[in-house]
Amino acid sequence: MDEKHESDFLNRLLKAKNKRQRIFLKKTANVVFNSVLGMAIKEKESLQPNQFTPSKRTTKTTRLNEKELLQQTKNEAEEILAETFHQSEKMYQEVQQDIAAAKEEIKLKKKQSIEQYDKEKVEADKITRKAELHAKKILASAHFKSEQLEEEISLKKAVYHQEIDRELEKLVKEKEWFEQYQEQVQESMDRKEKVLFYETRKKIEQEHLEKAALQNKVDYLKALNAKRKINSYRIGLMIFGCTVVMSVLLAGLRYSTPLFTFIITCLAFVIACLAFVVVYINLVDGKNEKKIKGIGFQNASLIEKNKELIDTIEDLEKDIKQLIDEKIQLERTKRQSQDNIEFLKIMQADLKQSEINRRILESENAALRKHLISEEAIE
């Protein structure tokens, strides 16, 4: 490559010298020709004013003078060309000498550059060997550190797995405990529902029985009252009849006889007995009325109790609804807790995988950095 470059440089130099020489000769010839032509024209013009009537002899003399002048001009031009050629030859010799000096200088520079190249090559070999040794040391250190990092990652992975297992075991235990708690709460709610149902049913049945018993008493007392009224009416009729008979007897029999007296006495006794019966019936009726009023009061109180029982039943229904809502909320909480546990498991698996990927990427990045550092050191 250097020899080719040198030959190209010399060829360009010769071409430039030849081009300059041709341009110089061309300019010189043009100058000589123009100067000779100008001199000839001036001489011709100087001869023309003196010849007003040219003759053949004068024309011939003029032609001879022109030929001589042209010959002289030609000779002068040849001399100038010879001088120019001599100068160009001298310039060519100088160019050859410059080319030879340039060749020597190029050879010297080439030799110096080769020596410098050899020195630089030796120095580069030394630097390369040092870089290779340094790169080997760096690679060995990187390999050692990567092994240490892999061991640390494996240890941390094992610890992380243990922690995850403990957390999962804890979550499983919490789930079992929560399921047991839910079962207990469910059983308690079922028991409460059954107890409330049976208590409500028992109270309702007792209320119906009490109402039926009171209604039976009221019906019985009403029947007794109706019977009393009928008996009182009959006894009143009997008293009225006895009084009429006794009045008739007293009015018809003006003379008293023992039989008449006995009959009157018997009628008076019967009337007194019937009056006593009427009084007794009325007294019993008063007691029955009191009983009826008492039963009515009990019935009213029972109605109040029934209202209170209805309110209690409504409260119990509200409590049952609340228990059902709590049961639904408990089921939602159970499902939510199960979803949270499943989500936590998925998140733990993702975290585990992301941690492993991060560790792998860190180790790969560390190895890549070390490799790039070693390549830069080699370069």
pLDDT tens per residue across span 9-31:
556 655 655 555 556 555 555 55
| In contact, 323 and 193? CB cutoff 8 Å | yes
Residue 359 has pLDDT above 70, yes or no: yes
Q: What is the rounded distance in angstroms from the CA atom of residue 98 to the CA atom of residue 21?
A: 15
Q: What is the rounded distance in angstroms from the CA atom of residue 217 to the CA atom of residue 209?
A: 12
pLDDT tens per residue across span 289-337:
666 666 666 666 666 766 676 677 777 777 777 777 777 777 777 777 7
Q: Cα Rg for the chain, rounded, in angstroms?
A: 78
CATH of domain 145-378: 1.10.287
Q: What is the mean pLDDT of residues 265-286?
A: 73
CA separation (Å) from 50 to 47, 58, 65, 70?
A: 6, 11, 15, 21
pLDDT tens per residue across span 168-202:
677 777 777 777 777 777 777 777 777 777 777 77
For tokens 């190029």, what's the residue? 106
CA separation (Å) from 359 to 73, 141, 148, 365?
A: 102, 19, 13, 10
Local confidence band at 77 (pLDDT 50, 70, 90 cut-offs): confident
pLDDT at 370: 75
pTM, two decimal places? 0.30
Please tell me which residue, 95 or 300, carries the higher pLDDT value.
95
Q: What is the mean pLDDT of the chain?
A: 70
Task: Tell me how far apart the terminal alpha carbons of the chain are, to the nearest angstrom.
Answer: 25
Q: What is the rounded distance in angstroms from the CA atom of residue 172 to the CA atom of residue 320?
A: 32
Cβ-in-10-Å burial (0-12, 13-18, 19+) of 274 comes to: buried
Could you tell me which residues come within 8 angstroms of residue 139 by beta carbon, excluding any fewer than 6 positions away?
Answer: 370, 374
Residue 139 has pLDDT above 70, yes or no: no
Q: What is the rounded distance in angstroms from the CA atom of residue 354 to the CA atom of residue 255?
A: 141
Local confidence band at 215 (pLDDT 50, 70, 90 cut-offs): confident
369 φψ region: left (φ > 0), alpha (ψ -120 to 50), beta (else): alpha
Q: Where are the domains of the chain?
A: 2-47+57-121, 145-378
CA separation (Å) from 309 to 212, 214, 232, 313?
A: 17, 18, 43, 6
Q: What is the mean pLDDT of residues 130-152?
A: 72
pLDDT at 288: 59
